[in-house]
Amino acid sequence: MSNHTQELLEESRQGEATLLNAITASGNRKLYLESYGCQMNFSDSEIVASILSEAGYDTTKNLYESDVVLLNTCAIRENAEQRVRQRLKDFQGLKKSNPRLVVGVLGCMAERLKEKFLEEEKLVDLVAGPDAYRALPDLIAEVETGQKAMNVLLSLEETYADINPVRMGSNGVSAFISIMRGCDNMCSFCVVPFTRGRERSRDPESIVKEAQELFDNGFREVTLLGQNVDSYLFYGGGPKKDFKQLSEEEKGRAVNFAGLLAKVAAVSPLLRVRFTTSNPGDMTDEVLETMAAWPNICKYIHLPVQSGNSDVLHRMNRGYDRPTYMNRIAAIRRIMPDCAISTDIITGFCGETEEEHKDTLSLMQEVGYDYAYMFQYSERPRTLAARKFKDDVAQEEKNRRLKEIIQIQSEWSLKRNQEVLGQTVEVLVEGVSKKSEEDLFGRTSQYKVVVFPKEQFKPGDYVQVKVHDCTSATLLGKALTS
C-alpha cells in the first residue's frame, strides 16, 4: 500500500475519506471503484472487485477508460453523503461524453436511499446494497439493456465467506478480513443497523484459511473486521444467537471471538493480528486474556465510548454506563498494561448539557487515550434518536465542544507518544515514508506509526527501532544494529 493510500485509509476510519482503488490488467472490461467510509467498506470493495473480476472486469484507476464506475458509499454522517453527491455530479460530464458508461452506487447510502437514488439522482443507473454484491454482474447486464437496476435486499446469512477478495491498493503487508456483517445493537444515533442489516458471523474455518493464504502470500498483518467483534459467535451459520440460545450440538462447535482470535493467531507467530471494532458492553476478560497470551495479537484496542456521561449513554442506547466502561478500561490495564487504547466520541448529541459534555472531558482525562476519532452529532433519518429526540445542541455549541475535545486529545496523543521515547519497539514495516524516500514507516503493536532510516530494511520486515523523538502523530527512531 502506498503512503498516500495508507494515509487515506487512516482518514477513512473517521468515515470521511475516499480511496481510489486500482490495479490495471489486460483485456476485459474496466471497472473503476471508489470507496468511502469505514474499513468494512474498503473490505467490501475487495469483495466487489473479486465478484466482478470473475465476470470479466479488471479494475482500473483511470476513470476515463472505465466502462463501469461504482461508488461504495457511507451514510454514517450527513457530510459523508454530501461528498458522494458531489462526486456523482463530477461524473455528469463523463456520462455525457460516454453514454454507455454505467454508474452505480453501492453500500450504506445505496441501502438507505434505495429507489430514491434512481429517481432523484438521475446520474445513477444501478443501486446495490451491502448484501447484494453477488448480483452485480446481473445488475450491470440489466443496465446495459437500457433499464435501471436495483437490489437492496438485506440478508440474514450472506457473509461472502467463499469470495476471495482482490487486494486492491495493497501494500502487500497488511490486509482486512471481514469476520461478520451487520449490527444488532441499535445505538440510537446510528444508521448502520438499517443499512447493513442483522448481525451474522462468518465461518471461522474460512477466516483462518484466508489468513493463512495471506500469510503464504507474504502478508504479515491481518485486521479482523466487524461492527461489534466481541459478539462474534459462529455456531453453524445464520443470524446472531446468544450462546445460551444454542442447542447442545451447536454449543459443541461454537466459536466465540476469543476462540477465533486464537485460531487466527495460531496461523504463524509472524502474522500480526488486529481487530476492530470492540464494544464496551460485550468485551470479555476472555478476549483480553487471549490477547495477552498471544504475542502476535496486537496490544491495541479501539473501544468507542461516545460519551462520558451515563445519561447520554442511556439516550444513545449504548447498553453500558460510565462505570461499566471504566471497568473495561481497568480490565485492559490490568491484563495488558502495555495496551494502547483509542476511542470514538460524539459531541453535541440530543439534549447534551454543558455538565454532560464536561463528563466526556473528564473521562478523556481519566483514560488518557492514545488516539481518538471525534465527531459532531449528525442526525440520521430512521434512527431511534431521529424519532425520539430533538437535535437541539446549537451548531456553534457543537463546534466549541468538539474543539475542547480535540484539544484534550492532542495533549494526550503527544503524552502517550512521549512515554515511548528512549524505548526500543518492534516495528512491522509497511512502506516508504511519505516525507522522505530515505525513510521507512511502520507500526508498533500499539498501532503507533514509526518513521526511521531505511538502511537495508523493506516492507514486511520486523525491525527493532529505538525511538528518539516524536510528535503527537508519529514516533521517530533508528533501527538497532543487530
Which residues make up the interface to ligand 5AD (CB under 6 A)? 15, 76-77, 189-190, 304, 306, 344, 346, 375, 377-378, 380
Q: Which one of ligand SF4, ligand 5AD, none interacts with residue 279, CB within 5 to 8 A by kind?
A: ligand SF4
The CB-of-377 to ligand SF4 minimum distance in angstroms stands at: 12
Burial of 36 (C-beta count, 10 Å sphere; 0-12/13-18/19+): buried
* Minimum CB distance to ligand SF4 smaller for 215 or for 275: 275
Q: Torsions phi, psi of 276, nearest 5?
A: -165, 140
C-alpha cell at 295: 504475542
* Minimum CB distance to ligand SF4 smaller for 187 or for 372: 187
Residue whose grid cell is 437500457: 146
Residues in the chain: 482
CB atoms within 10 A of CB 399: 13
The C-alpha atoms of residue 288 and residue 295 are separated, in whole angstroms, by: 12
The CB-of-192 to ligand SF4 minimum distance in angstroms stands at: 4
Q: Which one of ligand 5AD, ligand SF4, none interacts with residue 22, CB within 5 to 8 A by kind?
A: none
Q: Check residue 192 for interaction with ligand SF4 (CB under 6 A).
A: yes
- Give the interface size with ligand SF4 as a residue count (CB under 6 A): 10
Among 187, 224, 265, 345, binds ligand SF4 (CB under 6 A): 187
Q: Which one of ligand SF4, ligand 5AD, none interacts with residue 15, CB within 5 to 8 A by kind?
A: ligand 5AD
Single out the residue of 267, 283, 138 nearest to residue 210, CA to CA: 267
For residue 434, the one-letter residue type is: K
Q: Check residue 107 for interaction with ligand SF4 (CB under 6 A).
A: no
The CB-of-15 to ligand 5AD minimum distance in angstroms stands at: 6
> Nearest residue to ligand 5AD, using CB?
344
* Minimum CB distance to ligand 5AD smaller for 349 or for 452: 349
CB atoms within 10 A of CB 481: 6
* Minimum CB distance to ligand SF4 smaller for 72 or for 185: 185
Q: Which stretch binds ligand SF4 (CB under 6 A): 83-91, 113-121, 182-190, 348-356?
A: 182-190
The C-alpha atoms of residue 182 and residue 333 are separated, in whole angstroms, by: 30
Among 190, 340, 345, 402, binds ligand SF4 (CB under 6 A): 190
Among 9, 74, 163, 183, binds ligand SF4 (CB under 6 A): 183
- Give 345-402 as a 3 state SS string: EEECCCCCCHHHHHHHHHHHHHHCCCEEEEEECCCCCCCHHHHHCCCCCCHHHHHHHH
